[in-house]
Structure 1
């Protein structure tokens, strides 16, 4: 037993020997090796990982420089901040499988939007952020400035205007950890989020211009530059939590550079792990096994590849605990 590791890592090492448990440990060791050899890592966040409070472990990964860049959905970008300012107003519904349509309607009437067993309080979460972020959007537009979605969120957090309303320890917020490090983030499809919908409503009302928000195409162009600048040496690894656009969008930067821009010196992603419960045979990209990505020019034959077919809310904190030697 490796005694320079904490009790969680020792437990994993002792018990996680087969099947998805072994895949979890192999992936964690591969991540660790990748960093030890000078590599960088992208983490992609799909689903409702922020509402699942992944920030408790992810924020520490950011603080300890175990992640170089994040790709996430608009929902994950905002839901970490919602939890930060409205945590005590959230409602847990452990028996969510038993709810009738009427009970679901009653939750809506009470101002709760449900994500599995957790209800987000609309008034406290969305509206509390909306007041402040609208001012930041408007100020930028008045100055003729344009920013990415995550840059506006960083401005909001770093301004400290919501500090008095924080309801969780700040060290549990991955967005605060990211803002303090100015961690690069890409947020593909940001329009598909509550704040994206709110921004669209201002555009429809003629209060803001769509161009005040930088777009997904601009995110891809930015990522292309970042990838080329950072992929030397050991290269950049890809740690994908769930599926969806958070993973699909950034992984494509490699074939785009190679095939579309004809830059033939671009290295493949140099580590790949996905935590997924998606089923391969349904034709979903989220469920595709890593080898399929070889045919798309994303991964090399020799890229270390791992897939943990399990629940990311269980698996990701354990892998992070291993990497942090907890």
Structure 2
């Protein structure tokens, strides 16, 4: 495949240091997919609010991603951007804000993520009124689902289409829903929708068991990995640190150490994009070699770390893999 201008630019100019690591990681990703391997992408931080969907959605549509792990925030914030984009407020001078400036944003029902403020009414509450009906319906029937399955039900209901404010092709959640790819969401309670669901449980309107929790999520991932890790295996592309990376990578040592499924293959590719300083005792700053001692990677696993801003690096890697 002839590469487009973005790919040609990075391969010509990005020759050293983190720039070279970016190119190496992109070539490794492409090689893994080309030989029939599958890929998990993990989303930490606020990548949905950073509108990673513009490039990630196309990766999903082009079958360059087979499973996603993300925080509860990333699961919901892509949909929030889909239905409330025009109501977001950008504050490029956020570094100059005083505590009073921040308080004023709160009073205006705007919640800041770096230079972007998410509108409470048009984003959080708009989702809340529709997802509650889906939670309640499942709760009354005694049905139980994983967090992403509820979000897929919401998208497939068509209830949100009246609010769409961006081109739907730029929503990674819509793309994932159309492909019906699984989304692992560890610690879903640590999200706006998770907090809202908790409030309904405290008020006695919903049962906590209606949304499946962490152990069932790990069981689901175990079943998926066992069914999909044959042949060229599954790669692991980690954006940011935190639970979205920590939780799923552990499925491999759990399977062959604790379940004693000794034939379980390790992850077949690994890349982490993180601006976390490489350090001792910081999991998000741990280099890939450390994962070998935990039984997650092999000594010869193609492994890369790009110590840079994921909002810059990830779209460039995706562009290379897509041939742009």
1:6 deviation in Å? 1.1
Query: Which digits, 9 at most, give the CA deviation of each residue in 1:142-162, with x for residues without a partner?
Result: 111100000000000011111
Equivalent pairs counted in the alignment come to 324
1:58-69 matches, cutoff 5 A: 58-69=56-67
Matching residue within 179, 185, 194 for 2:183:
185
What's 1:157 paired with? 155
What's 1:22 paired with? 20
What's 1:279 paired with? 277
Q: Which runs of 5+ in 2 are unaligned?
A: none
What's 1:240 paired with? 238
1:121 deviation in Å? 0.3
What's 1:57 paired with? 55
Contact 2:252 2:265 in 1 (8 A): yes
Query: Which digits, 9 at most, give the CA deviation of each residue in 1:257-307, with x for residues without a partner?
Result: 011111100000010000011122251111100000000000001100000
Contact 2:84 2:165 in 1 (8 A): yes
Q: Distance in 1 between matches of 2:36 and 2:54?
A: 26
Q: Distance in 1 between matches of 2:82 and 2:127?
A: 10
Query: Superposition RMSD on alpha carbons, in Å?
Result: 0.7
Q: Distance in 2 between matches of 1:221 and 1:183?
A: 16
What's 1:292 paired with? 290
2:315 counterpart SS class: helix
What's 1:77 paired with? 75
Q: Distance in 2 between matches of 1:141 and 1:150?
A: 16
Q: Distance in 2 between matches of 1:231 and 1:179?
A: 22
1:41 counterpart SS class: strand
1:280 counterpart SS class: coil
TM-score (norm 2): 0.99
Query: Which digits, 9 at most, give the CA deviation of each residue in 1:186-245, with x for residues without a partner?
Result: 000000000000000000000000000011110100111111110100100000000100
What's 2:91 paired with? 93
**TM superposition outliers: structure 1 runs of 4+ over 2 Å:** none
Q: Distance in 2 between matches of 1:23 and 1:282?
A: 21
Q: Distance in 2 between matches of 1:230 and 1:34?
A: 14
1:4 deviation in Å? 1.4
